[in-house]
Structure 1
Amino acid sequence: MSLVKAGVVVLDCAEPEKLAVFYKELLEAEEAVVTANVVEIRAPGGTRLAFRRDANATPPSWPRPENALQVHLDFLVEDLDEAERRVVGLGGRPLETRGAPTVYEERGYADPAGHSFTLRLLPSTAPKRG
């Protein structure tokens, strides 16, 4: 029997309530824990994120090297264009992430507090033809 039952990624930010709304809408999640300094959400697929109040939090500068990456989230999607419209509509912004080639079709974004994340296209499950 596993001692650890679940993992939660925690993002530090100045306004956890506002950042939780962004991810709650993006992931179609529900609030699981709300305290004075932490808001945790759970998405239908099992993703758990928490947002912890830190008045001095500074977002990473990725992909620029001035500040460490700190944390990076990847979300798997079926339609990159549709997902991008949703991210931007919720207050996220695209990041210029050109660099090393990747085996994935993906796009980088920043949430309203500046944390970076990637939307990655789900690999096709259709059988290869030809």
Structure 2
Amino acid sequence: MALVNAAVVVLDCAEPEKLAVFYKELLEAEETDVTANLVEIRGADGIRLAFRRDANATPPSWPRPENSLQVHLDFLVEDLDEAERRVVGLGGRPLETKSAPTEYEERGYADPAGHSFTLRILPSMAPKQG
């Protein structure tokens, strides 16, 4: 067993209840803990996210340089177009990024509170032919 294990990623936001609904729907998650200032969810795959109330939270401006990135989440998907429709339908928005190309096909988004995240095509596990 590792000395340190990841427990939960916590995002600060002005309205944790609303942001929790976005990620709960996106990840098909369930609420595991709710207090006056924190909502925690666990996705079907085990990922745990929490949303902590911060009345002074300011959304990051990434990819613009005016404000720091603060946090960035990556999610693996099988169908980028279908996942994008879901993100936008839940209140997320696409981000125009000019990142260097990677080996993965990916798209950037912001959640309703402005936190950035990436949807990335699930890498193929099939053995290479040839």
TM-score interval for Structure 1 and Structure 2 normalised by the shorter chain:
over 0.9
Q: CA deviation at 1:6?
A: 4.2
Q: Which residue of structure 2 aligns with residue 44 of structure 1? A: 44
Q: Which residue of structure 2 aligns with residue 82 of structure 1? A: 82
Read off the aligned partner of 1:89 and give its amino acid letter. Answer: G
User: How many pairs align?
Assistant: 130
Question: Once the two structures are aligned, what percentage of the paired residues are identical?
Answer: 87
Please give the per-residue CA displacement for 1:68-97, whole angstroms capped at 9, x wherever unaligned: 111000000011000000000000000001
Q: Which residue of structure 2 aligns with residue 119 of structure 1? A: 119
The gaps in structure 1 that reach 5 residues or longer are none
- CA root-mean-square deviation: 1.3
1:33 and 2:33 matched = yes
Q: Distance in 2 between matches of 1:76 and 1:48?
A: 15
Read off the aligned partner of 2:73 and give its amino acid letter. Answer: L
Q: Distance in 2 between matches of 1:19 and 1:96?
A: 22
Q: Distance in 1 between matches of 2:20 and 2:117?
A: 15
Q: Please, what TM-score do these two structures have when normalized by structure 1? A: 0.94
Q: Distance in 2 between matches of 1:4 and 1:35?
A: 26
Q: Distance in 2 between matches of 1:79 and 1:107?
A: 11
Q: Distance in 1 between matches of 2:83 and 2:44?
A: 17
Q: Please, what TM-score do these two structures have when normalized by structure 2? A: 0.94
Q: Distance in 2 between matches of 1:78 and 1:128?
A: 19
Q: Distance in 2 between matches of 1:18 and 1:33?
A: 15
Q: Which residue of structure 1 aligns with residue 56 of structure 2? A: 56
* Structure 1 runs (4+) greater than 2 angstroms displaced: 1-6, 126-130
- Larger mean Cα displacement after TM superposition, 81-90 or 3-12: 3-12
Q: Distance in 2 between matches of 1:2 and 1:106?
A: 30
Read off the aligned partner of 2:71 and give its amino acid letter. Answer: V
1:14 and 2:10 matched = no
